Structure 1
């Protein structure tokens, strides 16, 4: 139970929302421990030994009976799963129940990456995700999580929402998990209670309106806008639906619910239509506080399609011609056709199907990462990157070495490795058949190429 009391103004707000009797149940629930949950990466199969139960609105989501040390699980570092709050996995149900067409998606406030990795899994080989984060340090964390997830269908950008303004009508789906007053985190992070005030709620609302004033225009005709917060109040939730529908032409979307889930549907009358939102209360749902709504852009809205550029020019990216890209695919044994670029002498590969969209994006946003970085080439020899190791792309020609858990943790700590019968040259280290990274056996010593900044310090 938390020693930090709830602010009186917050209690009054919640009593107005729930009534006195139900508020008592809510207040009791947020002083109970949070339940740990995770979502599996369906592209990286792993067996979990922990006692778990399914999250009903997410195919790959599970509650864990106890919280293990994820840091000391090599499968976590291999991107086999993402530790994500259960309520936010409801996006999985939205995507699948509406059968939202795959295409080009934008996660506008993406760090640390839970929702981005979910979108990446849904898109698979049939789409491209732009995962954006405005704060540079958080954008680096986002990049790491996208790299670990390994699907190679994402671009990580570090931009303010207004930088996307030239991309009006460009995206099939835009997700904004808006920075908010954090009321839904009062159980998981009791310290958040001390930071809450009615003035902070109003400040968050103004920030959200500035973001949504940009985001609302980015969705193409027929596309979808998902807006979510981890807060309860109407000011940051229902009022934002009213704001959006006053500013932009959006149609209501209703999500099918199972009554056993105890998710509360809310109805907003705006612009002569009934719009829908979904609120997760911790005394009803096995998850943290959460609000989400989805809107569909009117069919008469703008659509911006990227045009073919005769000569692609960029201040730090160099395009590899299609013929040479095809030759690299053959050399590396990649079946799907890719498009290659170089950055600081390192080769990057993206899907050829989304190359025009990528080129258009690269003219307007600050790229932190894209596709899969393969590494550098010295004549006919590759210096493979860590990003390639964690990706789903084949690593043909490189031997593998399966590690025990103890050996894997030594590798992840960048400890000195004592491995016998290791081939000379580059070797891919694996744990439960999941790639972890590279070593290079020079004969007299083994060099560990796990990124220094990623190493386990426990």
Structure 2
């Protein structure tokens, strides 16, 4: 049972009203939050419907599971065939499919651990490109791993602060800003979010969020889209910040079609630009509340940059990642991953990078492909040397599980040496008797 901070309780009860507040608190005190996965459309596998309770209604590749399996021991999880993502945050798929109908260049500004980036790239039209950025180095490493496993060559991973992008002079059609926040929406999921919450921290987060959007605003094209989101409930970090963006930076809110049965809540303070008499319908923002919506807490909206210049989003936009100047533009940034990395030189031999195994359009024709059993796959992902049949060629081989690439090994006859990245390996020595079959 979670202990709700008294200041949060008093503020939120006034903001939401008694009935909605009681619904929220009941939802926050539920011990088990829904477990949801999103299938990777670029590594299409059929989901095991026996494990599924329902589809996520706002994301065509999203599924609610009946119970939470141990994902660590599913090789297809490591292969990037699906991603474990909270359902509310999949709403970005719905926004993109409603408004984006041509290839775009996008930036996910605060992207770790990678759920929104991979969800967005799945929804973008073919030919779209994305920079997935994370300012915090440790989190950026996790982001890089998840993006590489996702296997899309038109995603670059960077480790920079928003102001660093000014040096690149890159202009984006879409910027996704899931900004750092006070974390009220994570109360059910993360006890640390409760212990770190305070009214003072809410105010600090509000100012930080404004500075982040201001720092990146010049990199958004006139007419370009900003998807602004937080995982918190208060109006200061949400409606009031959106009103600030509209008034101070020059933007307009765009409505997003939703269904009544999704139980999404709108603005809790009407339109802060029009005073107390305004309605939520005049200020189209979208709030996911535990206890009402089947997911964790989320606030999200879509803004469009308004400036005198004409809209610069051409219908035949060419991917930046296909242009020669893209790498030059990225030079001021700390680039962690981009497509297939160069092989590593080891004496007379070249060891292919793991990105080549996992990238959906990479050429692996040089390497024999061996589909392995469940227990061999787990041993490989744990970093163990594995034994293969005697008819397997010596040298670099590509290991797959259910035809989904896992990585490389070097077969030397009596065993195959493991080339799976050390930092990605399964640490647990436990092996389930029965495989976890999600797909």
When normalised by structure 2's length, the TM-score is 0.88
* Other structure's SS at 1:129 match: strand
Tell me the secondary structure at the aligned position of residue 386 of structure 2: coil
Q: Is 2:263 aligned against 1:293? A: no
Q: Who is 2:332 aligned against?
A: 364
State the Cα deviation string for residues 215-265 of structure 1 (Å, max 9, x = none): 222210121001000000000001111111122221221000101101112
The residue that corresponds to 1:337 in the other structure is none
**Could you tell me which residue of structure 1 aligns to residue 271 of structure 2?**
268
Q: Alignment partner for residue 9 of structure 2, among 8, 11, 14?
A: 11
Residue 25 of structure 2 corresponds to 27
Written as runs of structure 1 = structure 2, the 5 A alignment for 1:37-436 is 37-49=36-48, 51-52=51-52, 53-123=54-124, 125-167=126-168, 170-266=171-267, 267-270=270-273, 274-298=282-306, 300-301=308-309, 353-360=322-329, 362-376=330-344, 382-392=350-360, 393-420=362-389, 421-436=391-406
**Larger relative strand fraction:** 1
The match for 2:411 among 424, 437, 441 is 441
Contact 1:170–1:304 under 8 Å retained in 2: no
What displacement does 1:20 show?
Answer: 1.6
Pick closer, same or farther for the CA change 1:379–1:194 going to 2, 3 Å. closer
**Cα displacement string for residues 304-342 of structure 1 (whole angstroms, at most 9, x for unaligned residues):** 99xxxxxxxxxxxxxxxxxxxxxxxxxxxxxxxxxxxxx
CA distance in 2, matches of 1:264, 1:94: 16
What's the counterpart of residue 316 of structure 1? Answer: none
Structure 1 residues 365-401: Cα deviation after superposition (integer angstroms, max 9, x where no partner):
1211112214247899742111100111231131111
Q: Distance in 1 between matches of 2:216 and 2:310?
A: 14
Q: How big is the shift at 1:422?
A: 1.8
Q: Which moved more, 1:54-63 or 1:113-122?
A: 113-122
Where 1:236 maps in the other structure, the secondary structure is coil
Shift of 1:169: 6.9
Q: Which runs of 5+ in 1 are unaligned?
A: 306-349
Per chain length, whose mean CA-contact separation is higher, i.e. which structure has more relative contact order (CA < 8 Å, sep 6+)?
Answer: 2
Q: Distance in 2 between matches of 1:375 and 1:124?
A: 30
Query: Aligned Cα RMSD in Å?
Result: 2.4
Q: CA deviation at 1:86?
A: 0.4
Contact residue 34 and residue 294 of structure 2 kept, 8 A: yes
Distance 1:131 1:294 in 2: 19
Kept in 1, the 8 Å contact 2:226–2:305? The answer is: yes
Would you say the 8 A contact 1:414–1:455 is kept in 2?
yes
> Are the equivalent residues in 1 in contact too, given 2:250–2:307 (CA < 8 A)?
no
**Which of 381-390 and 53-62 deviates more?**
381-390
SS at match of 1:427: strand
Count of residues in correspondence between the two structures: 411
The CA deviation at 1:453 is 1.0
Counterpart CA distance in 1 for 2:28 and 2:8 is 13
How many angstroms apart in 2 are the aligned matches of 1:227 and 1:107?
A: 11
Separation of aligned partners in 2, 1:373 and 1:119: 23
Partners in 1 of 2:171 and 2:187 — Cα distance?
37
Tell me the CA shift for residue 299 of structure 1.
5.2
Contact 1:109 1:133 in 2 (8 A): yes
Aligned residues of 2:105 and 2:128 also touching (Cα < 8 A): yes
Gaps of 5+ in 2: 314-318, 429-439
| CA–CA distance in structure 1, aligned partners of residues 272 and 297 of structure 2 | 23
- Secondary structure, in 3 states, of the residue corresponding to 1:248? helix
- Please give the TM-score of this superposition, normalised by the length of structure 1: 0.85
SS in 2 for 1:175: strand
